[in-house]
Amino acid sequence: MNLPIGLLFAAEGGMKLTYVWEKATPEAKAIIFVLAVFSIFAWSVMASKAVQMRRAKRLNHYFDSEFRGQATVFGIFDRRLPVDGCPLFAVYQDGCTVLDARLRQPDGARKANASVKTMEHVKRSLEGAVSREALKLESGLVLLAAAVSGAPFLGLLGTVWGVMDAFGGVAMAAQAGNRADLGAMAPGVAAALITTVAGLLVAIPSMFGYNWMVHNLRVLTVELDNFAQSLASRMETEFLKDEE
């Protein structure tokens, strides 16, 4: 009993949207097309970044568990394992590469101890690696920010433009002696408001997606900072002599 009624309402809603679209001005249709492109890019960014961050979290968890089980700092580094898409591994790899280069002797063996200058150099390298990984995770979010801030204003621009055309048409009809009533003005106003609806349909999902990704980015960045500090401390414990 409810299914035919629901279909009837859906059909009526579709007819209303079709009617409003037909009454929209070319400028409004152009703005809606631009908003549709914004929406495609925004959803693409949200999908790709969600997959990237989820994969990064999973790999970080696996790598952190493996690293804590190693007897030495170079335990994973010496195995030359490629781990793509893991931010913690990228930081670890960069720090170990710098430390290994500083400890290598002409005969290929590593020194047993490192100097304070070497450890300071490694720390700066770790800080740079953390910044690079954070920028990789952050790349693409500017498109979401643009969608959140720009889409409502584009929709508002189309609405103001359409309302201006509608009132202008009513004024011209009144000057020509024709009757200018609500029935003549309503289609133009309704067609103008559709751009605001389109702008909000783009901005609202983008806002939720952007806030979610910024939160996850902060969590991942804190994890990177904590790991870099922990790695530097472990390197100092293993290779830096206590001053007597």
* Cβ neighbourhood burial of 35 (10 Å; 0-12, 13-18, 19+): buried
Strand partners, 221: none
Phi-psi region of 177 (alpha: psi -120 to 50; beta: other; left: phi over 0): left
- State the chain's mean pLDDT as an integer: 82
- Domain ranges in the chain are 25-239
* Segment 99-134, tens digit of pLDDT: 988 888 887 777 888 888 888 999 999 999 999 999
CB 162 within 8 A of CB 190: no
Using 50, 70 and 90 to split pLDDT, how confident is the model at 197? confident
pTM of the model: 0.78
**Does residue 14 surpass a pLDDT of 70?**
no
* Segment 69-100, tens digit of pLDDT: 888 898 888 888 878 889 999 999 999 999 98
Residue 75 Cα distances to 63, 101, 235, angstroms: 12, 16, 12
**Does residue 173 surpass a pLDDT of 80?**
no
Amino acid sitting at position 230: S
